[in-house]
Amino acid sequence: MYQPIAAAPPGQEAVEVDVLPVATAMIDRLVRHAEVISLRGDSFRMRGRDLGRVPPAETSSND
């Protein structure tokens, strides 16, 4: 995947750079001291949305 750089000096050709290693290195520098936090359970943001789940059976008390 090559993407030419648009800002070449006048009179020179645009240099082609492989952007994947550059992007990977930039992300690595940003997150190298980050901690990964794994969250489980239903999303608060997605509550109330029908995601194709079968709703839990309701228990009725006919005492």
- The domain in which residue 35 lies consists of 1-6+13-39
Q: How many domains does the chain have?
A: 1
pTM flag (> 0.75): no
pLDDT at position 26: 92
Q: What is the mean pLDDT of residues 2-13?
A: 62
20 falls within a domain: yes
Residue indicated by tokens 């079968």: 54
23 falls within a domain: yes
Is there a contact between 43 and 34 (Cβ–Cβ < 8 Å)? no
pLDDT at position 61: 64
How do residues 8-53 score in pLDDT, each as one tens digit?
667 776 667 788 888 899 999 998 888 888 888 877 887 777 766 6
Query: CB under 8 Å to 2, separation ≥6 — which residues?
Result: 16, 17, 18, 19
pLDDT at position 51: 67
